Amino acid sequence: MLNPYLDIHPDVKAALDAGQPVVALESTIISHGMPYPENVETALRVEQTVRDNGAVPATIAILKGRLKIGLSQEEITYLGKRGQDAIKTSRRDIPFIVANRCDGATTVASTMILADMAGIRVFATGGIGGVHRGAETTFDISADLEELAQTNVAVVCAGIKSILDLGLTLEYLETKGVPVIGYQTDTLPAFYTRESEFGVDYRLDSPEEVAAALNAKWSMSLKGGVVIANPIPPEHAMASALINGVIAEAITEMDEKGIKGKDSTPFLLAKVAEKTQGSSLKANIALVLNNAKLAANVAASFCK
Ligand code: PSU
Ligand code: MN
């Protein structure tokens, strides 16, 4: 029986019923990840990129307590304008947002949950949450990692952002049995940059190879997600010394201000954009579009 709180957009429903490719998209990146109006413009361009590559986009959010699988242009604009007034919603928050009929922007974790409820297996975003630097004292580990451990959705992202501890995030994913695939790369991309000092678990070079691995995993009922790390296109990559310096400054400011918990990722993203005069935002937009394209291709291949 379908979840009574779920509203599947007619275009998404038609595609799912016909076994056609659908790509899930998150909404915290819209409300908390980018400023207005770039957030709305980007969300609409990401949807168009998915369509241009032969799949149907399903941007996911909770609106007035309804679990929305696929948003209209008006709904995306509404969420983009609400910005950080929308509630950043991870797994723990969902029942309260629903019961109180609130608006919730879904993180990677909750987008995976809702995508799974609707039967969508491929999801594109910019960056996933992970183990934060200093987690040995703060315990700040994103619920995204636990979700990857248990929910059958593949997440295309641009690697692990260096606001996080890349090494600890990889260790955590390994413990939880979540494979990290490098798309056409042997090294783990670090979001703004194409490379890091870490390797990936498996390098795969085509959407068909990725789809075959997903199919093998889930056909055997090996539960959980997969991280598909897709490096930022070279022309948009940032100089690693520059971006890492800016991130270090932003983390110092965050600690001074005592910002923690769910507020830390949005604070760092905004600070980094401010300190780079918007060039990190441009890079962020470019890599999300690149991920949308790959996710559409993987979804198409997975449906065959
Ligand atoms: N990383 C980004 N942009 C984002 C996020 C992460 O580069 O917008 C968002 C995603 O929605 C992700 C969430 O799921 O932040 C992780 O937050 P936390 O670390 O509080 O779990
Ligand atoms: Mn956290």
Q: In the predicted model, what is the mean pLDDT of residues 73-99? A: 97
Say how many residues make up the chain.
304
pLDDT for the residue 247? 97
CB 24 within 8 A of CB 120: yes
Look up residue 133 and give its amino acid: R
- What angle is formed at CA 67 by the lines to CA 38 and CA 59, rounded to 5 degrees? 30
- Domains, the chain, ordered by start: 6-303 (3.40.1790.10)
Q: Is 108 annotated as a binding residue?
A: yes
Q: In the predicted model, what is the mean pLDDT of residues 168-177? A: 98
Q: Tell me which residue of 103, 71, 107, 81 sits closest to 92, measured CA to CA.
A: 107
Higher pLDDT, 3 or 303: 303
What is the Cβ-side half-sphere exposure of residue 73, based on CA atoms within 13 angstroms?
Answer: 4
Q: In the predicted model, what is the mean pLDDT of residues 249-262? A: 96
Q: Is 227 annotated as a binding residue?
A: no
pLDDT for the residue 19? 98
Q: Is the CB of 107 under 6 A from ligand 1?
A: yes
Q: Is the pLDDT of residue 284 over 90?
A: yes
Q: Is the pLDDT of residue 16 over 90?
A: yes
Q: Is the CB of 27 under 6 A from ligand 1?
A: no
Q: Tell me which residue of 49, 37, 66 sits closest to 124, measured CA to CA.
A: 49
Of the listed ligands, the closest to the CA of 191 is: 1
For the chain, strand residue ranges (E) read 6-8, 22-25, 56-63, 66-69, 87-89, 104-106, 122-124, 154-157, 180-183, 202-204, 226-229
pLDDT for the residue 29? 97
Of the listed ligands, the closest to the CA of 144 is: 1
pLDDT for the residue 1? 54
Q: In the predicted model, what is the mean pLDDT of residues 261-289? A: 96
pLDDT for the residue 3? 86
pTM beyond 0.95: the answer is yes
Mean pLDDT score across all residues of the chain: 97
CB 141 within 8 A of CB 172: yes
Exposed/middle/buried for 241, CB within 10 Å: 0-12, 13-18, 19+?
Answer: exposed
Q: Tell me which residue of 292, 274, 298, 127 sits closest to 208, measured CA to CA.
A: 298
Report the separation in Å between the CA atom of 132 and the middle of ligand 2, taken as the mean of its atom positions. 7
Mark whether 161 is an active-site residue. Answer: yes
For 64-117, strand residue ranges (E) read 66-69, 87-89, 104-106
Ion ligand 2: protein residues whose beta carbon lies under 5 Å: 140
Mark whether 26 is an active-site residue. Answer: yes
Report the separation in Å between the CA atom of 37 and the middle of ligand 2, taken as the mean of its atom positions. 26
Task: Specify which residues 30 forms β-bridges with.
Answer: none
Choose, from 47, 68, 147, 161, the residue flagged as catalytic.
161
Q: In the predicted model, what is the mean pLDDT of residues 212-231? A: 98
Percent of the chain scored above 90 by pLDDT?
Answer: 99
pLDDT band at 2 (very low <50, low <70, confident <90, very high): confident
